[in-house]
Amino acid sequence: MNILTPKQSGEFISKFAKNVFILPDGIKKLANEVAEGIKNKQICIDGFSQHELHPQKADESSVDWIFFVDTLNFCFWSANENTKWEVIWNGKTHTGYFALCASVRRALQDGIPVTDPKFYSQVTSAELDHILRSDNPNAKVPLLEDRVTCLHQVGKILMEKYMGSFVMCLKECNNSAQNLLQLIVQEFPCFRDEADFQGHRVAIYKRAQILIGDIWACFRGEGLGHFSDIDTITMFADYRVPQVLVHYGVLKYSDELMELLKSDKLLENGSENEVEIRGCSIQAVDLVADEARKLLKSQGHSDLIVSSILIDHFLWDYRRKHAAMLELIPFHKTMSIFY
């Protein structure tokens, strides 16, 4: 069966969605804010390396760090505050994705070669449980056994086919983000984030695309992070960015879907509502990027980079900065290895 790319999937899903709607006024409002952020450099490629938990150098070891982290970059939400997975690093408490980054820092400091596929292709559940241990005594990282399975799968493939480093995958792709995306989803099944929707096979590829986006941002689009077609990568459809898109009036949920989300009922990965939320998020951010480009061009700034990756970074950071306010908007909850 022919698989639509994430960009095509977003367009297709948004066209046939029954419970998620994209609002043109919201697109314009957010595009204005994005264009201003790009002009004043609040939204830029440098944000990745400026975070203390991310690699500070752009080298081959950073590529393998990013690959390890994005293999495990899924499902960090908790049912309540008491069971929130937290990791303390340098006196600061981190949650979610940054708790994962902090646990990697902690493991490396303890002398555990956690980002080496020789190690993680054989890591035991007990070892990974220790590496990802929470500083909240009531919490454990969700889906531990699935994380072990993912690490075994990708680690073995890197050892057998790519000389034990994701750098070799990059070198096969001729600086093409699309070539790399296809390599990732073909070689590493745990990145194959697809669903059936209205008779078509659609691809969301959140973790595969964020892996490419993180390498691009870490290397500031140069060297191993240079991709001539980086603008073909979409936003990374998770459970938090759609929440911000609703806040901005870019997305609107039907009353029926809103009630379902407020009930805290789990949405199954691949279910119609879940696919609509993720697909419409992709299309909405692409439309915001197009509108922001037009705005900047009309203001004589056509040289400035606008990408769905940078808009995703901005929205994701916005959610973390305004977490309490955004809790009024329910987010969809799914137990999945894909996001």
Known catalytic residues are 238
Distance CA 251, CA 10 (A): 13
DSSP assignment letter at 132 = T
Are 245 and 278 in contact by the 8 Å Cβ rule? The answer is no
Nearest-CA neighbor of 241 among 161, 309, 305? 309
Q: Is the dihedral of CA 216, 218, 219, 221 positive or negative?
A: positive
Distance CA 20, CA 9 (A): 15
Which tokens belong to 176? Answer: 């093409």
Nearest-CA neighbor of 70 among 199, 175, 180, 227? 180
Nearest-CA neighbor of 35 among 276, 300, 339? 300
Residues belonging to the chain: 339
- Could you please report the per-residue DSSP string of 306-336? --HHHHHHHHHHHHHHTHHHHTTS-------
Which tokens belong to 108? Answer: 């490396």
User: H helices of 166-227, where?
Assistant: 167-171, 177-187, 206-218
Nearest-CA neighbor of 9 among 176, 237, 254, 208? 237
Q: How far is CA 235 from CA 6, 10, 267, in A?
A: 9, 10, 21
**For tokens 């939320």, what's the residue?**
277
Neighbours of 139 (CB within 10 A): 19
Nearest-CA neighbor of 250 among 38, 8, 10, 77? 10
